[in-house]
């Protein structure tokens, strides 16, 4: 009766994994997206281009080698937009190819166009361009994975050249000498650090009184120090009222009356769920004012056979979590048993320069909940690998329960942070204690050795307490 058992709307990380998981379970699956957006925001405008850009910036500026070769060390003197975008284009096209290949070898039908509901089981696919013919697709189960787009305030006149959102920043024609970044969320701070590394004079404007408030305070302070060293100016507790475009630049007006001139303004003040074109009421669904769809713990919406995953359901809105949500939603839609996602083990990786990553609780959270903890720290400058790499600021911090020596949190700052965090995540996931880290032999010289150093530090501190408390 249906054209497909499962229809997935959106081919970002959530949609891809949902489609492949359902196909692996033997279902007839189709996935729909615009031709130029295969791979979603993640591949085309978000995660992958920004992370590739970061890698290109690190390489071409010679940033990570300057401790060893001096502060004037560069791989290339006049870095152009072309130098940076060549690498990004290369990686994007490879990734799109991988996705197409994975979908096709799993017999997932790729439908190109924009989907909107006709009724709870029927979706209209409008191809656009020359191919204006609409297609009606009926599916037994539908998984919505339409993601988000940058939020754009009406008071700002985006032109894609001097006043840009985080999608448009990738298409800048030349590197700005100065830039205002509006919003110190993850996107804002990641781009602020890349442009600062390229020599752009960056000013970050943030409404709140601090940034990345979900991260360890000490690590955020360390990041701010590093960014200020690259001439970044922070304006906290300041709101942007409007942005004016002038010949040869922009003027950003703040509520406090300040005026900030800059070549370019980048808005990174949150994102809006892409639900307006879906015609949700036809399916018996609705979205909130930020375009997000409400789901239960198995990603089922208010309509029994329709599921939603990824950024369109809101927090945590990461490629990493979207993929897992997609897989779990497909299992639920196909009647398989699913283990719920373990939120306490969800890692966060922030690709600033230097990078940050953590898993588990922060010191502030534990203190608020009156959970005692001991801190164990390893500093890269005391690790042989840190000296070899020329990273003297990096650190790894373990938060340990003094009662049973379990790991409560792992916070890493510096080279390899987003990779290293997974050692701690595994120990936590397996219910291990720091005894495992103390008693293990780590390769030498490695940054992973920081786990042993930090675990010993925590152990020594706990011993000191035990001496007094008997």
Ligand X SMILES: Cc1cc2nc3c(=O)[nH]c(=O)nc-3n(C[C@H](O)[C@H](O)[C@H](O)COP(=O)(O)OP(=O)(O)OC[C@H]3O[C@@H](n4cnc5c(N)ncnc54)[C@H](O)[C@@H]3O)c2cc1C
Which window, 33-41, 94-102, 387-395, 408-416, contacts ligand X (CB under 6 A)? 33-41
Three state DSSP letters for 372-413: CCEEEEEEHHHCHHHHHHCCCCCEEEEEECCCCCEEEEEEEE
* Residue 201 engages ligand X in binding (rule: CB under 6 A): no
Residue 350 pairs in a beta bridge with: 356
Cα separation values, 425 from 255, 322, 343, 356, Å:
42, 19, 12, 15
Q: Is the peptide bond before 150 cis (omega within 30 degrees of 0)?
A: no
* Residue 320 engages ligand X in binding (rule: CB under 6 A): yes
CA atoms of 330 and 6, how far apart (whole Å): 8
Q: From the list ligand X, ligand NAD, none, which binds 188 (C-beta under 5 to 8 Å, kind-based)?
A: ligand NAD
Which residue's CB comes closest to ligand NAD?
185
Please check if 17 is assigned to a binding site: no
Per-residue interface string for the shown chain with ligand NAD, residues 62-101, x marking contact by CB under 6 A: ----------------------------------------
The packing angle between helices 449-469 and 417-429, to 10°, is 50
Q: From the list ligand NAD, ligand X, none, which binds 433 (C-beta under 5 to 8 Å, kind-based)?
A: none
CA atoms of 265 and 181, how far apart (whole Å): 6
Please check if 270 is assigned to a binding site: yes
**Shortest approach of ligand X to residue 204 CB, angstroms?**
15
* Residue 355 engages ligand X in binding (rule: CB under 6 A): no
* Residue 401 engages ligand X in binding (rule: CB under 6 A): no
* Residue 91 engages ligand X in binding (rule: CB under 6 A): no
Please check if 9 is assigned to a binding site: no
DSSP 3-state assignment of 37? helix
CB 278 within 8 A of CB 271: no
**Shortest approach of ligand NAD to residue 117 CB, angstroms?**
26
DSSP 3-state assignment of 236? strand
CA atoms of 275 and 311, how far apart (whole Å): 11
Question: What 8-state DSSP symbol labels residue 316?
Answer: T
Q: From the list ligand NAD, ligand X, none, which binds 240 (C-beta under 5 to 8 Å, kind-based)?
A: ligand NAD
- Among 347, 348, 343, 340, which residue's Cα sits nearest to residue 296? 340
* Residue 271 engages ligand NAD in binding (rule: CB under 6 A): yes
Q: From the list ligand X, ligand NAD, none, which binds 33 (C-beta under 5 to 8 Å, kind-based)?
A: ligand X
Which window, 36-44, 247-255, 358-366, 443-451, contacts ligand X (CB under 6 A)? 36-44
* Residue 391 engages ligand NAD in binding (rule: CB under 6 A): no
Would you tell me which residues interact with ligand X (CB under 6 A)?
A: 9-15, 32-34, 37, 40-42, 46-47, 50-51, 114-115, 145-148, 166, 187, 274, 277-278, 310-312, 317-320, 322, 351
Annotated binding site: 51, 183-190, 206, 270, 311
């Amino acid at each position: 009766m249906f054209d497909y058992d499962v229809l997935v709307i959106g081919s970002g990380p959530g949609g891809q994994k949902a489609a492949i998981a359902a196909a692996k379970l033997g279902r007839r699956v189709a996935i729909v997206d615009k031709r130029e957006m295969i791979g979603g925001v993640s591949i085309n405008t978000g995660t992958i281009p920004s992370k590739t850009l970061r890698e290109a910036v690190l390489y071409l500026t010679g940033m990570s080698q300057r401790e060893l070769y001096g502060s004037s060390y560069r791989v290339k003197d006049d870095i152009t937009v072309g130098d940076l975008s060549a690498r990004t284009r290369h990686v994007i096209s490879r990734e799109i190819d991988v996705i197409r290949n994975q979908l096709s070898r799993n017999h997932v039908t790729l439908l190109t166009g924009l989907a909107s509901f006709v009724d709870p089981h029927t979706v209209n696919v409008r191809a656009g361009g020359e191919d204006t013919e609409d297609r009606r697709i009926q599916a037994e189960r539908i998984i919505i994975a339409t993601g988000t787009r940058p939020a754009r305030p009406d008071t700002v006149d985006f032109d894609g050249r001097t006043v840009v959102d985080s999608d448009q920043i990738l298409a800048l024609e030349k590197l700005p000498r100065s830039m205002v970044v509006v919003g110190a969320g993850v996107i804002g701070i990641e781009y602020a650090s890349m442009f600062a590394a390229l020599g752009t004079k960056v000013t970050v404007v943030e409404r709140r009184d601090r940034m990345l408030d979900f991260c360890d305070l000490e690590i955020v302070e360390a990041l701010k120090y590093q960014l200020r060293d690259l001439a970044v100016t922070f304006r906290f507790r300041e709101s942007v009222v409007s942005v004016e475009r002038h010949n040869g630049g922009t003027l950003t007006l703040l509520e406090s009356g300040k005026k900030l001139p800059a070549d370019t303004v980048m808005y990174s003040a949150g994102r809006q769920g892409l639900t307006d074109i879906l015609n949700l009421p036809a399916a018996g669904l609705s979205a909130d004012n930020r375009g997000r769809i409400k789901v239960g713990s198995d990603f089922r919406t208010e309509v029994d056979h329709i599921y939603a995953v990824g950024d369109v359901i809101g927090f945590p809105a990461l490629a990493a979590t979207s993929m897992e949500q997609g897989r779990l939603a497909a299992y639920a839609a196909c009647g398989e048993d699913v283990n719920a996602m373990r939120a306490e083990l969800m890692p966060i990786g922030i690709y600033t320069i230097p990078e940050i990553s953590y898993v588990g609780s922060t010191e502030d959270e534990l203190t608020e909940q009156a959970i005692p903890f001991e801190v164990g720290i390893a500093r890269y400058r005391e690790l042989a690998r840190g000296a070899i790499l020329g990273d003297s600021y990096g650190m790894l911090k373990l938060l340990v329960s003094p009662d049973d020596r379990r790991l409560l949190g792992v916070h890493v700052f510096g080279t390899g942070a987003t990779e290293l965090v997974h050692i701690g995540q595994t120990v936590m996931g397996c219910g291990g204690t720091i005894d495992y880290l103390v008693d293990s032999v780590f390769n030498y010289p490695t940054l992973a050795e920081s786990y042993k150093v930090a675990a010993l530090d925590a152990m020594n501190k706990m011993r000191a307490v035990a001496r007094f408390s008997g």
